[in-house]
Amino acid sequence: MRPKRTWSQRRRLSDPIEEHSAFDDTESTIALAGHPIHAMLITYPIALAFLTLFADGMFWWTGDAFWPRMAVWTAGIAFVMGVLAGIAGTVELLIVPGIRIRAPSWTHFILACTLLSVLGVNWGFRLPDPQAAVLPVGILISALGVGLTTVTGWHGGKLVFDYQIGTQRDHGS
Ligand code: HEM
């Protein structure tokens, strides 16, 4: 028969974060002077996804052909910058042990890939005829893009603020 474990032994065994040294290794490596490049790049898809929905709404309201022309650019740049941000994030995810080992990092990856697919569709769908694409399908894709951007961005913030992913442990002097 196995000897009975004491309460402190059981508590220690049930806390893998303390046991596993890789959990502490969360510092960003794809960074400029310690500032994660991913965090710099994601501002573009976030802002431009919202701007695309705004432009679609303005076209619906005013009928002015300026707005669909603008939306095709904002949708395109949102997608391209989102992919660049995704590449920086994915390299970080794969090479930093404390990021790779955490399940929430992979949840963020799946959310982000879904978002990037929607941003890509939103751009490609508009290219042949930006004006005809807006109502009703374009604006619905934009709304979906904004919803997914909000969830993905909020979840990315959780990685940083709840798990200290990408943050510097040693601040130096
Ligand atoms: C495709 C793959 C992606 C991966 C693997 C990924 C991974 C990560 C990682 C590892 C972090 C922690 C900070 C860092 O180490 O840089 C993070 C933070 C974050 N991510 Fe992503 N990400 C991806 C795409 C996106 C996209 C498309 C968005 C756009 C909404 C996004 C929004 C955020 C936000 C807002 C943060 C918090 C940044 C901060 O507060 O400093 N991520 N992501």
> Where in the chain are the domains?
34-163
Identify the residues whose C-beta falls under 6 Å from ligand 1: 28, 36, 38-39, 42, 45-46, 82, 85-86, 89-90, 92-93, 99, 105, 108-109, 112-113, 115-116, 149, 152-153, 156-157, 159-160, 165-166
Above 60 in pLDDT, residue 171? no
Centre of ligand 1 from the C-alpha of residue 19, in Å: 26
Q: What is the pLDDT of residue 1?
A: 59
Q: What is the pLDDT of residue 16?
A: 62
With pLDDT > 70 as the criterion, what percentage of the chain qualifies? 86
Atom 18 (ligand 1) nearest CA = 156
Q: What is the pLDDT of residue 153?
A: 98
C-beta of residue 10 within 8 angstroms of C-beta of residue 16: no
Report which secondary-structure segment, H or E, holds 35: strand 35-36
Q: 105 φ, ψ to 5°?
A: -60, -40
Buried b (16+ CB within 10 A) or exposed e, 17-27: eeeeeeeeebb
Q: What digits encode the pLDDT tens for the residues 19-51?
A: 676 777 889 999 998 899 999 999 999 999 999
Residues with Cβ within 8 Å of 118's Cβ and at least 6 positions away in sequence, in order, are 141, 144, 145, 148
Centre of ligand 1 from the C-alpha of residue 55, in Å: 25
Q: What angle do CA 62, 116, 135 make, to 5 degrees?
A: 25
Q: What digits encode the pLDDT tens for the residues 145-164?
A: 999 999 999 999 999 999 98
> Which CA distances in Å does 7 have to 1, 12, 13, 16, 114?
18, 9, 10, 16, 44
Q: What is the pLDDT of residue 173?
A: 42
